Structure 1
Amino acid sequence: MAEARMIEALIFDCDGVLVDTERDAHRVGFNKAFGEFGIDAEWSVQLYANLLLTAGGKERMKVYFDEFGWPNDKVAEYGGRDELIAALHKEKTRITSKLVSSLPVRPGVLRLVDEAIDAGVRLGVCTTSNPKFIDAVLDLFGPARKAKFEFVHAGDVVSKKKPAPEIYELAKQSLGLPPERCVVIEDSRNGLLAAKGAGFPCLVTTSTYTVDEDLSEADRIVPELGDEPNINVTLADLDELAAAHAA
């Protein structure tokens, strides 16, 4: 049975896929970090939706400050813009890593991970999030499931973040598999374009901030993976998706 299976690896994005973290963890963490640094900035739910069009937290802050003005006193205090951004991002990561422990894993994720483990399908994560943050997210899975993830490519491991395909090209190297033997699960247009750019079939589970994005390149779109009695995606479904992609 296992030899007939098309899919050999399953690659997850983190934010919006494993946990819907953007609104209630990352956004809150940025705002708390700004406050602790004495920076007059408050990212509303709507503003953060616009900022999410830029992948990567450090890059997001640069876009914001470029548009709304840099806190030049803090830039001078930290010795430059990049240095301030790095310090802010470090503090934001510390804050959000604590916040994530109170958030639920999205419906169907643990079920699908268990299906993959039982079938011998390999697991990995490709995300723009900080490695410490994704480590905290995977802690929600429990130690047995967490140990089954072969790789976590996170943060600044590549020079260009999503929608550039670099992080998924790195996943291909890690797995040593052709992309048609794998499926990527993403939630955003940036992530979708990155996965497709590397040649992977991609299923999208929409999240709070991505439900209205153009996701037309996806091989399939669902609101969530789903648990009983409302399962939307099984490993068998992903097997069929990969087979259709390879055809």
Structure 2
Amino acid sequence: MRGDIGVRSYWWEAGRPAGAVVEPLQAVIFDVDGALADIERDGQRRAFNAAFAAHGFDISWTVAEYGRLVCIGDERRRIASALRRRGYGRISAEIATHIQHTKNDLFAEWVLDGDVIPRPGLDDLVNSLYAAGIAIAVISTGSPHWVEPLVRQLIGEGIAGAIVTPDDLPRPTREPDLHGHALWELGLGPECALAVTGSAHGLCAATAAKLATVIVPTAYTGGQDFTGAAAVRRDYDGWSADGCARLHRHWWMAR
């Protein structure tokens, strides 16, 4: 353990020995928020607006406005910032907690109704990975209340070997190490895995965990800086387990 009680450390943090053999790909870690589905514009935004209305607030985020707000990764901070701009001051954080809970409930209902669809080509890629014996993990900064049913809906029951949200970490942190915890649950080091995310924020989180990372941008994130990514793809069409393994190997060989 590190000196800070409750913060998990990992065996791979000591670094990779020089000249070490490139490990084969054993897992792919998908970010729900962008990589599995483009849920922000027509999913989360609608749920936030419905939650504001349910609590009596005349706040309705447009597509463009919400596109600027998604850079605030923490949803409560995102809501609180909107409330503070409207003069609610110190109580904004407390109100934001209640609104976020309502938003999660509404979004979970929409998920269960099948309103969220996977990114193009995702089904074929996941089936290819599963058939090749490559583990699949999923991470999200969202609530397990809606993340877990959404994962089941998008990739199938029992396909993900690990589903990690901030609730699974030993203690809450501002920037939770979801990738590190997913690796810990799978019993793998980062040299054995590939991360797939949809944003520059996700890229930063994955590279901080020492993972080779593929970007599949969304409508909101297409113009972001993806420097350091192993690859940037428009979607998953034509991509397979073999393609993931080659990309992973080439990235580590270049290290």
Deviation at residue 64 of structure 1 after TM alignment: 2.6
Q: Which of 106, 110, 118 is the aligned partner of 1:99? A: 110
Name whichever of 97-106 and 189-198 sits farther off: 97-106
Return the match for 1:61 from 61, 69, 79: 79
| Residue in 2 that maps onto 1:171 | 182
Q: Does residue 244 of structure 1 match 2:243?
A: no
2:24 aligns to what SS in structure 1? coil
Q: Secondary structure at the match of 1:140?
A: helix
Does the 8 Å CA contact 2:30/2:196 hold for their aligned counterparts? yes
How many residues align? The count is 228
Q: How big is the shift at 1:91?
A: 0.7
What one-letter code is carried by the residue in structure 1 that aligns with 2:230? D
Question: Corresponding residue for 2:192?
Answer: 181
The gaps in structure 1 that reach 5 residues or longer are: none
Alpha-carbon distance in structure 1 between the residues aligned to 2:218 and 2:146: 19
| Greater than 3 Å deviation, 4+ residue runs | 80-83, 155-158
Asked if the contact 1:7/1:239 (under 8 Å) is kept, the reply is yes
Over aligned residues, Cα RMSD in angstroms? 2.0
Provide closer, same or farther for how the CA distance between residues 182 and 218 of structure 1 changes in structure 2, counting only shifts above 3 A. Answer: same
Identity %: 24
Q: Corresponding residue for 1:203? A: 214
TM-score by length of 1: 0.85
Measured in 2, the distance between the counterparts of 1:212 and 1:11 equals 23
Quickly say closer, same or farther: Cα 1:160–1:223, change in 2 above 3 A: farther
TM-score scaled by length of structure 2 = 0.83
1:65-104 map, 5 Å: 65-66=83-84, 68-71=85-88, 80-100=91-111, 101-104=114-117
Q: Which sections of structure 2, spanning at least 5 residues, go unmatched?
A: 1-21
Q: Structure 1 residues 13 and 104, CA, compared in 2 at 3 Å: closer, same or farther?
A: same
Task: Return closer, same or farther for 1:155/1:31 CA change in 2, 3 Å cut-off.
Answer: farther
CA distance in 1, matches of 2:87, 2:108: 26
- Say which is worse superposed, 237-246 or 31-40, in terms of deviation: 237-246
Aligned residue in 1 for 2:127: 114
